[in-house]
Chain A
């Protein structure tokens, strides 16, 4: 319970901002927070709160895995790389050959989710392949 107290504000934020399927579990000195945020903004907010309680996330006592619920098959997603193009690969993994690129800030289509990490996407040019999900944000 100690960790739940430490991160109470984070849990409260998750509850009040509409995170669905929220699961908070404390086990062996680690607090696990799972759920689906209604938007990318809510996910960002959660991480901001987390960072305010544990500066730089260095305590190692939280594993937070919150997905964005709007990232569903057929949704439009924006390439949110820092500035470079996003690789589109033949399969889900950085060891897979690159079959295309999506430009920074380009809007592409989420075809399906291979995993939480790798999404099958299609560009407007018709290039299709797997992209690293962290660089894709649902267009809201």
Chain B
């Protein structure tokens, strides 16, 4: 029994001594070294890192989620880093480019609107270059409208459905 105890004691001592030896000889990486490593890496130039006891806290703005993840995993690989607290934010997406200026759907349609402004009883639509006129108008007004519509350079002015008032 005594012998067993003695063996145990010896073993414990050996473990303890070994542990102390291992611990004391493990190359200790200082926080400052980690800090320097991060700062000298241009990949992290947009971030701010603080290091305490091997834990790196990242802040700053990443351009997107992928950048955020990539930075964190890259920092994790730096020797001596025990953990990373990723406090970085993601930049707001750039505003969409100004919408392209589109001309009126159909110059004919715009021209019709202008031409008929003073003639509410007349309607006209444009399709495939053909202006189709409906509604009713006096002879004199229809002449004015026809002159205006012809000046829009349509393919044809179809007024077969228009009623001419006497």
Contact = CB atoms under 8 A, between A and B. Distances in A.
B147 A134 contact: yes
A51 interface: yes
Interface stretch (A13-21, A60-68, A102-110): A60-68
Contacts, number: 60
Contact of B143 (A51, A60, A94, A95): A51
Contacts of A63: 150, 153-157
Interface residues of B, number: 26
Given A65-B150, A94-B117, A116-B151, A57 B142 contact: yes
A50 B155 CA distance: 18
Residue of B114, B117, B152, B157 most packed against chain A (CB within 10 A): B114
Interface in A86-140: 93-95, 116-118, 132, 134
Interface residues of A, number: 22
Given A47-B143, A94-B114, A117-B111, A57 B155 contact: no
B114 A47 contact: no
A56 interface: yes
A94 B144 CA distance: 17
Nearest to A116: B151
A93 B152 CA distance: 13
A139 to B, nearest CB: 19
B11 to A, nearest CB: 95
A117 B114 contact: yes
A51 B152 CA distance: 19
B144 A60 contact: no
Interface of B: 110-111, 113-115, 117, 139, 142-144, 146-148, 150-160, 162, 164
Given A47-B147, A57-B146, A93-B110, 5 more contacts: A47-B143, A63-B153, A63-B156, A95-B113, A118-B114
